[in-house]
Amino acid sequence: MNIIQNIEREQMRMDLPKFKAGDTVKVHVRIIEGEKERIQVFQGTVIRVKRGTTNSTFIVRKISGGIGVERVFPLHSPFIEKIEVIAEGKVRQGRIYYLRNLKGKAARIKPKETWN
């Protein structure tokens, strides 16, 4: 078992910021099309974070053209260039799937209060 844990530890990325459900993030993803490579930015609200070792994932939801788009990202993927936390949201649940049923102003998340 120790060998497997060492291999998993080598695969994990330590340069990612801490974020949770309700936060607005920008995920810079490396896209490979044929022989060309580019960076695509996916900005949205984190709905869920699944913790674990190398199998950690998180779901980001955004509204594009009036339609909700969700994307699941592996946290330790080499295709993720970087993750930027834009805003921290104030939510009371760890998985905010209820956003799928809300539209417009009802789907907004209150910003987290910061104390100076």
- For 42-92, how does the pLDDT look when each residue is reduced to its tens digit (9 = 90+)? 999 999 999 887 889 999 999 998 899 999 999 998 899 999 999 999 999
Q: Which domains does the chain have, with CATH numbers?
A: 2-106 (2.30.30.790)
d(CA 89, CA 106): 14
Whether 10 has a pLDDT exceeding 80, the answer reads no
